[in-house]
């Protein structure tokens, strides 16, 4: 038993518009088989999609999850920033300071993301979406390593990171203290390898909590990880 990461899912007031923004920033094509919002083909070795699901949730704080986009050169970093701004992004202040070498932006619905400076060794070889950077505890990094079968590639000073055996995007957790739930955020969608209910029970045994039996009428089971972050197990 197990699950694969099917999608990194955005809560979106306007899914089509938000998908168009991220498609433009990253040059991604739309997946034509999404019955739940809009999906983009990430083209990433980790094998997931980007999904934009309709939601009425209001964003009340900084997201717990955000993308770190990589750069191949200073010019490439500037080009990514300029492209994102032209598509509707804005600069965002999350306390990074004026001397930060990375650039913090927010998409048209306020989801923060970083454009990382070139030469970042930790994200080398991970692709354009170098990391899904998460606010979270060391224990939740261990939970997701077991949930997805992705080995730990970093475990030091309360910080953890996992990566698919196929490579691609790393998922990282920065350790305590945990930021408040922002309401509107990014979430993980899991596709079970076999029986959905058996996989739900396995995830519960690892420390997940059941929030609802069905979410959005699509047969997905809504759970929360040990830090309280919602995720879905697809039917």
Prediction pTM value: 0.95
Gap between the Cα atoms of 123 and 132, Å rounded: 11
Edge-first strand order for the sheet with 112-115 is 90-91, 103-106, 112-115, 65-69, 129-134, 170-173, 159-163, 152-156
Give pLDDT tens digits for 96-123: 888 899 999 999 999 999 999 999 999 9
Q: What is the pLDDT of residues 5-39, one digit of tens each?
A: 999 999 999 999 999 999 999 999 998 766 678 99
**Which residues, listed in sequence order, are joined to residue 90 by a DSSP beta bridge?**
106
pLDDT at 97: 85
pLDDT interval class at 63 (50, 70, 90): very high
Place of tokens 């609802």: 212
Collapsed DSSP state (helix, strand, coil) of residue 23: helix
């Amino acid at each position: 038993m197990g699950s694969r990461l099917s999608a990194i899912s955005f809560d979106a007031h306007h899914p089509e518009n938000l998908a168009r923004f991220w498609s433009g920033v990253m040059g991604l094509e739309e997946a034509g088989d999404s019955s739940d919002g809009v999906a983009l083909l990430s083209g990433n070795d980790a094998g997931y999609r980007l999904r934009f699901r309709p939601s009425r949730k209001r964003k009340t704080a900084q997201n717990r999850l955000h993308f770190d986009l990589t750069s191949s050169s200073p010019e490439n970093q500037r080009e990514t920033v300029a492209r994102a701004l032209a598509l509707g992004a804005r600069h965002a202040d999350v306390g990074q300071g004026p001397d930060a070498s990375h650039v913090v932006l927010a998409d048209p619905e306020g989801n923060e993301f970083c454009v990382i400076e070139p030469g970042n060794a930790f994200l080398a070889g991970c692709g354009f979406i170098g990391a899904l950077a998460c606010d979270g505890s060391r224990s939740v990094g261990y939970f997701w390593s077991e949930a997805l079968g992705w080995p730990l590639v970093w475990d030091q000073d309360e910080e953890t990171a996992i990566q698919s055996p196929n490579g691609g995007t790393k998922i990282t957790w920065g350790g305590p203290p945990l930021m408040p739930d922002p309401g509107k955020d990014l979430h993980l969608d899991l596709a079970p390898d076999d029986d959905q209910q058996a996989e739900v029970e396995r995830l519960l045994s690892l420390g997940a909590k059941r929030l609802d039996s069905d979410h959005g009428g699509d047969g997905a089971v809504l759970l929360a990880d040990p830090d309280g972050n919602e995720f879905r197990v697809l039917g």
